[in-house]
Amino acid sequence: MGLVDNVSTILQDSEEPFDDTFPPEEAYRDDDLGYWAEGQDESERLPDDEFYGDDIATPGHTELETHREMREFARLITWDLPLLGSLTKSFTPPTLNQPLRFRYTTYLGEDHPAANKVTVEFNPNDLPDLTYEQRATLIKLCGPRYNPEKEVVKISCEMFDTQLQNKRWLLDTTNALVKEAREGQDSFADIPFDFRHHKPKPVYKFPNKWILTEERKAELTAKRKQSDEAEQARREGNKLIDGAALVRKHHAATPALPLSDRNGNPLTIEEPVADLVMAELSPLNNYRGRRRFKRNT
């Protein structure tokens, strides 16, 4: 008896229907439950393990996991990084027969929707077998994708799902533009160049007056010295405003107000108000301005 006949015999002898024995996924899946089974009944949940005080807390395990990850990268740096030296390749600059420059974007460790984008750049003057009129026609056909400042045509594509498809589209588009510039019936010779799409960025030069020469350094040093001497003269002549002295003077001229508690008993303050205010204003003093009261008996 083969395996298929054996399975058929077992299913026929079974008292329960096949659909009840192996229900479909929709039968036991509850879409109302969240990712963490938020809507599940407490009685249906598995009991948590008993904690006997023989393990560390969750933050401790997180720190251990971070330490393991750092050790893993350290091992990769020590053992695998030297092996990459055998895979190095010397840089070979592109030749004149390779006028197209393709640029890709790679996001390491993640899938990004912009990773499929491919950009091609080329200079119309680098394309072979093109006359001056044909290059002018090509520039007019490219329109706003031509940068007159850098003399570069830039075209990008991200319509397809893979980089190879986007690169293939760019190659076909570039070939079509070159073919139209060479063999097209209309050369657009009567249409002038339109570079209004390009907004040149101004390049500012550093002013010569701002360059610190030896004479300028001596002049600035003399001004700073003169300012320091004037400040010292005002300090010695008591012409600087002392905020602490003004607060004490105002406090001495203001009569003290009587203080009392909830029951009407008079209270006195051990420390002057001016000292408390200056203690609050001083950044080097840790005094918090707590007033100590005592009852007069």
pLDDT tens for 97-132 read 899 999 999 998 888 989 999 999 999 999 988 999
Tell me the pLDDT band of 48, cut-offs 50, 70 and 90: confident
CATH number of the domain enclosing 155: 3.30.160.20
Global pTM reads: 0.48
62, pLDDT greater than 90: yes
Domain count, the chain: 2
What are 119's strand-pairing partners?
A: 103, 156
Q: Which of 183, 203, 220 is the last residue of a domain?
A: 183
Strands 118-122 and 152-157: antiparallel
Q: What are phi and psi of 28, to 5 degrees?
A: -110, 0
Mean pLDDT score, 237-247: 82
Range of the domain at 144: 101-183
Least confident of 14-18, 87-91, 130-134, 262-266: 14-18
Strand ranges inside 43-111, DSSP E: 101-104
| 158, part of any domain | yes
| 11, part of any domain | no
| 17, part of any domain | no
Measured torsion, CA atoms of residues 206, 207, 212, 214, in degrees rounded to the nearest 10: 130
CB 156 within 8 A of CB 119: yes
Q: How far is the C-alpha of 118 from the C-alpha of 166, rounded, in Å? A: 6
| 141, part of any domain | yes
- Tens digit of each residue's pLDDT (9 = 90 or more) over 247-269: 888 888 887 666 676 777 776 65
Tell me the pLDDT band of 181, cut-offs 50, 70 and 90: very high
CB 104 within 8 A of CB 89: no
Residue 23, number of CB atoms within 10 A of its CB: 11
Q: How far is the C-alpha of 188 from the C-alpha of 194, rounded, in Å? A: 12
| pLDDT number for residue 188 | 92
| 264, part of any domain | yes
Q: Which of 138, 165, 183 is the last residue of a domain?
A: 183
Least confident of 165-169, 217-221, 246-250: 246-250
| 233, part of any domain | no
- Write the DSSP string, 122-182: E-GGGSSS--HHHHHHHHHHHGGGEETTTTEEEEEE--SSSHHHHHHHHHHHHHHHHHHHH
Mean pLDDT score, 7-23: 52
In terms of domains, do 179 and 106 share one? yes
| 267, part of any domain | yes
Q: How far is the C-alpha of 228 from the C-alpha of 220, rounded, in Å? A: 12
Q: Which of 139, 156, 183 is the last residue of a domain?
A: 183
Mean pLDDT score, 194-206: 91
Mean of per-residue pLDDT scores for the chain: 80
| 200, part of any domain | no
CB 12 within 8 A of CB 5: no
